[in-house]
Structure 1
Amino acid sequence: MGASGEFDLVVVGGGPTGENLADRAVAGGLSVALVEHQLVGGECSYWACVPSKALLRPPAALREARRLPGAGESVRGAIDADAVLRRRDSFVGDWKDDGQAEWLASVGIELVRGHGRLDGERRVVVEGRDGERRVLTARHAVAVCTGTTAALPPLPGLGAAGVWTSREATSAHEVPGRLAVVGGGVVAVEMATAWAGLGSRVTVLVRGSGLLPRMEPFAGELVAEALADAGVDVRFGVSVGGVERAGELVLDLGEGGELRTDEVLFATGRRPATGDLGLESVGLEPGGWIEVDDTGLATGVPGGWLYAAGDVNHRALLTHQGKYQGRIFGAVIADRAAGRELDMAPWGRSVATADLAAVPQVVFADPEVAAVGLTLAEAEAAGRRVRAVDYDLGNVAGAGLHADGYRGRARAVVDLDRETLLGVTFVGPGVAELLHSATIAVTAEVPLARLWHAVPAFPTISEVWLRLLETYRG
């Protein structure tokens, strides 16, 4: 048995969520150990958000230049895929976490490398890569921030075929000649966009009838049209029945149909990374999501000591929401340890209200999709009296100046009883930077009468705010 240690808080999982939670707890006066068995910085830093956006941006910049007369004429050559991959590598630090580890030390967080497992109340056993075991005891709390892993369907031949998950899709060092993407969600759309932009012949296989099913329907429709215009073969109502690798990959599409490809990405969802976490030692089901209350406290564990933040609690599977939870829950743990009163009112400092009412998300496709809050269907299902206000983004002067033939759409979901916004969706080139204004409007529940006085600068795409308000007022 190796060295043991006692801390106020033990955080299991060193991704962005765990880092933020640990940082806020230290700021609140607690001693913190952070356990990580892979790279500090987690999935987002090395295999998801950062590398995917590094792959997406150069092809997007090239497309934008080609859409502008005067600039497009000067863009003659093809994209340099090798240069894009090298730039991607630089953003992930060549998959080394030295800088992240140094930051932990600089703020007083002790990094414990190894695989952490719960071992009863307030106790975590860490097994290092060399087999050494260390027992960590928490005076106040343990926080699980282990995130998720790719969920693969139980298909014949899948295990032996060497298929891609999101990790391989963002870290590959060669552009496949042919790439099949199975799925219709955010990862599927972004990776189809990225690799098509880098030169792959991409086929997207979607079981359902549309892309981005959790967003407003027009978002998936516009993205599907743009993918098709870019040469991507998007097929709906298709199920993969099996996979076989014999030099190339062969996908069984049923009824004698097949697809031959060089690589296949299964972007078919995520599952909680809790299968080997020792949940059974505290009365929870191994491999399951950890249900929490709005302060991050696990509802199925007595004693008020186990917390779960980020994707693992299934509240909002987005890196920025995990970081948000980390900031709030880390402060809650410190406040409870010090006996300080919590602020439990909606939008109070001690509750993650935004997880339920104002989750922002950007899909970095072409066109971009940016949304926050509820869709029209979600608002109606919640029993709210609402109205959807739509506007063609291409009719905004700033959009026309941004690119010839600009195509896009905006929707605001208005609560008719309170005349505030429940949700906003933008689709179009460059709309990601519009999202925070919408997030503020939804989060702050700004009355439409007050938004009328928030004057957008001319000629920017943000003038769509004025057009939405004009459309609503009639």
Structure 2
Amino acid sequence: MTDAMDASEYDVVVLGAGPVGENVADRARAAGLTTAVVESELVGGECSYWACMPSKALLRPVIARAEARGVPGLSTAARGPLDTAAVLAHRDSFTSHWKDDGQVRWLDSIGARLYRGHGRLDGTKRVTVTGPGGDRRLLTARHAVAVCTGSRAVLPELPGLADAGVWTSREATSAPSAPGRLVVVGGGVVGVEMATAWRALGSEVTLLVRGGGLLPRMEPFAGELVARTLTEAGATVRTGVSVAEVRRAGAGGPVTVVLADGGRVEADEVLFATGRAPRTDDLGLGSVGLEPGSWLTVDDGCRVEGSDWLYAVGDVNHRALLTHQGKYQARIAGAAIAARARGERTTDSAWSAHTATADHAAVPQVVFTDPEVASVGLTLAEAESAGHRVRAVDYDLSGVAGASLYRDGYRGHARMVVDLDEEILRGVTFAGPAVGEMLHSATVAVVARVPVDRLWHAVPAYPTISEVWLRLLETYRDTRSGTE
């Protein structure tokens, strides 16, 4: 560091201008705290340009066509292929063509100061920012520094992979055209969503999964339904296989994926959707006694353990790697920072504005495949592993009047995991067309610990898919009375 380095002081310094960093800055500014935001890429972050928004823009036409194909009077008209160019153009509009002018204007509107460049911690409450031209500036924080730098895709160490030019989630959501043949490695959320999108946009898709099924962190029926629909759409789904090597034949040439059993799969592109790592490797963590490249452990106010000024919000704390959960944490962290700046005592009450509890056992998530999968809370296996005495209550969604009207051949399933001792729901999972919009009702039931007997008085409208709530409760009543 040189004495000539420009320096500025703020109440709060935020590293990362994705949705999480934006929300921390917004809450800090609303509380009257001066706030600086440091961003090395695009303001708006991963979600806006390479994840949530472009992926869902790719998937919405796919899902809409699938729904139309099941509706009498529309099915014939919806038999044709998607207009791939139009879908990709629509995707580009959702990313603002990878320009962040609008997001920058929003930051300006709340009064936050944006610094373009790479930010690194430089001791307690100090951040150095190296700008695009190499100029350096020192930012100091009176009250807090919030690390909101997110996560990045992880590639496994495989022979040939480093030189093969494979896709990660970023290339999969921003590709300018559909590859003729696409191999997707990984059966998690990114893998199945991108397999769904690119198959519908004309690619021959092969999905390679090391484990025994898709969506392994959800109820087994969810992955089974998605695998069935992908297969019917013409994708090849292979489970129980591992990749041993990847080779590309020259720049822009075809890729050979060599499997552990000696088999080979040829493709034009290969997407590895095999995990995430925190973007903390070049963040200066060593200057404050933390391990570079590590996930940052935090308390329920998102304050880094052992610190009274450093916060880690969103993916970097590894509590729940989802945009909506990160934004939730940001609201909590922003409120906690503001309260402490005013000298107020924060509380760890479960319903406190300064305490994040929803990312322990009530995390909602939607997988935008055909069919959609929506879940909140614990799966049956997770609840049992946690020591709860529970029962799974299942119902075939095709037996609900609203589902049968939604489309011919509606295929779906619902499960609620009931705590038999407390008579509350530990988790709920839906798999079927349009179930994502039902998830919030399940989230409220799980978060608020609504007693099962009270849920009888939350009457679902007829004929809607949400009538499955009544059917689940009836099924539970029947099984409960049969064991009493």
Judge same fold: TM > 0.5, yes or no: yes
| Corresponding position: 1:313 with 2:317 | yes
| d(CA) in 1 for partners of 2:325, 2:138 | 30
| Corresponding position: 1:256 with 2:259 | no
| d(CA) in 2 for partners of 1:76, 1:196 | 15
After TM superposition, the structure 1 = structure 2 runs for residues 102-251 of structure 1, keeping only pairs within 5 Å, are 102-246=105-249, 247-251=253-257
CA-CA distance at 1:422 after TM superposition? 1.0
Partner of 2:26: 23
| d(CA) in 2 for partners of 1:96, 1:170 | 15
| d(CA) in 1 for partners of 2:393, 2:259 | 40
CA-CA distance at 1:2 after TM superposition? 4.7
Partner of 2:482: none
CA-CA distance at 1:42 after TM superposition? 0.3
Name which of 401, 418, 430 aligns with 1:426: 430
Instruction: State the secondary structure of the residue aligned to 1:143.
Output: strand
| Corresponding position: 1:96 with 2:102 | no
Instruction: State the secondary structure of the residue aligned to 1:78.
Output: coil
**What runs of 5+ residues in structure 2 fail to find an aligned partner?**
479-484
Partner of 1:285: 291
Is contact 2:169–2:190 with CA below 8 Å preserved after alignment? Answer: yes
Instruction: State the secondary structure of the residue aligned to 2:162.
Output: helix
| d(CA) in 1 for partners of 2:74, 2:290 | 59
Partner of 1:344: 348
Q: Deviations over 1:90-116 (max 9, x none)?
A: 000000000001001101111111100
TM-score by length of 2: 0.96
| d(CA) in 2 for partners of 1:368, 1:445 | 25
Instruction: State the secondary structure of the residue aligned to 1:297.
Output: coil
| d(CA) in 1 for partners of 2:361, 2:81 | 43
| d(CA) in 2 for partners of 1:234, 1:103 | 43
Cα 1:191/1:305, change in 2 over 3 Å: same
Instruction: State the secondary structure of the residue aligned to 2:391.
Output: strand
Instruction: State the secondary structure of the residue aligned to 1:74.
Output: coil
CA-CA distance at 1:419 after TM superposition? 1.0
Q: Counterpart amino acid of 2:206? A: T
Q: Counterpart amino acid of 2:301? A: T
Q: Deviations over 1:345-403 (max 9, x none)?
A: 12321111001021000000110000001111111111111111110001000000001
Partner of 2:17: 14
Q: Counterpart amino acid of 1:10? A: V
Partner of 1:326: 330
| Corresponding position: 1:376 with 2:383 | no
CA-CA distance at 1:76 after TM superposition? 4.6
| d(CA) in 1 for partners of 2:405, 2:202 | 28
Instruction: State the secondary structure of the residue aligned to 1:4.
Output: strand
CA-CA distance at 1:446 after TM superposition? 1.0
How many residue pairs align between the two structures? 472
| d(CA) in 1 for partners of 2:350, 2:51 | 31
* Amino-acid identity (%): 68
Instruction: State the secondary structure of the residue aligned to 2:473.
Output: helix
| d(CA) in 2 for partners of 1:201, 1:137 | 52
TM-score by length of 1: 0.98
Partner of 1:466: 470
Instruction: State the secondary structure of the residue aligned to 1:73.
Output: coil
CA-CA distance at 1:29 after TM superposition? 2.1
**What runs of 5+ residues in structure 1 fail to find an aligned partner?**
none
Instruction: State the secondary structure of the residue aligned to 2:76.
Output: helix
| d(CA) in 2 for partners of 1:110, 1:146 | 17
Partner of 2:404: 400
Partner of 2:271: 265
Name which of 58, 63, 66 aligns with 2:66: 63
Is contact 2:428–2:442 with CA below 8 Å preserved after alignment? Answer: yes
Which has the larger displacement, 341-350 or 356-365? 341-350
CA-CA distance at 1:257 after TM superposition? 1.3
| d(CA) in 1 for partners of 2:74, 2:262 | 47
